[in-house]
Structures are given as structure tokens and as C-alpha cells.
Amino acid sequence: MKQSVLEKLKKDPRLWELIERKERFSWTMAIIMLVVYYAFILTIAFKPELLGKPLSEGMVTTVGIPIGIGIIVFAFILTGIYVSKANKEFDSITKELHELVKDEL
């Protein structure tokens, strides 16, 4: 990439806004997922009887199975939220920045 393009981008406050917003949102999503996942793992480690109970009398499937599946579904939902926000907000700023330097590329 040309040095002039880099310098032009570095001076644009929209680039720094994009970086800050993306980082903040990404870290927030990652922390939420880690809390949910580690809560599940810690429950398995310290209170396995909670997740080891059958769903109902005589069933083989335990409470932990739907909770585990729920965590996987939750991860997909968080991914969808991230993609939606990226498509609506982050991509529009990226497009503006691309238009700014398009002639120099």
C-alpha cells in the first residue's frame, strides 16, 4: 500500500473510531461468551450433580445436555449479532474510508 494512502487514513478520525468501536464490541462479545462457557465448566467441576440430574424421572438425558446445546446455540446467536452489527455499522465506515482513498489505490 502506498505511504500516502496510509498517512491519509491515519489522519482520518473515522478510522480510529472504527478501530475503537470494533475492539470494544469484540471484547464485549468475547467476555460474554467466556463467562457463559466458564460458568458451565465450573459448574461441571464443582457441582456436577446439578447438571447430572435426569430431565425427568426415568430419563437417561441429563440437565447438562440441553444446557450444553444452549451454550452452542448462544455462541451462534452472538456470532449473528456480531455479523449484523458489522454489516450495519462497521462496513459503512469502512466503505467511507475506502471511498476516501480509492483514487490513490
**Model pLDDT for residues 18-61, shown as the tens digit of each residue:** 999 999 999 999 999 999 999 999 999 999 999 999 999 999 99
Q: How confident is the model at residue 8 (pLDDT cuts 50, 70, 90)?
A: confident
Tell me the three cell numbers of residue 87. 454489516
Residue 1 pLDDT:
58
Residue 22 pLDDT:
95
Regarding predicted confidence, which is higher, 15 or 3? Answer: 15
Dihedral class, residue 80 (left if φ above 0, else alpha if ψ from -120 to 50, else beta): alpha
Domain limits, the chain: 3-104
Give the separation between CA 92 and CA 96, rounded to whole angstroms.
6
Window from 6-15, 24-33, 60-69 with minimum mean pLDDT: 6-15
Instruction: Say whether pLDDT at 6 is over 90.
Output: no
- The radius of gyration of the chain from alpha carbons, rounded to an integer in Å, stands at 22
Averaged pLDDT for residues 4-14? 88
Alpha carbon 86 to its chain's center? 10
Share of the chain above pLDDT 70, in %: 98
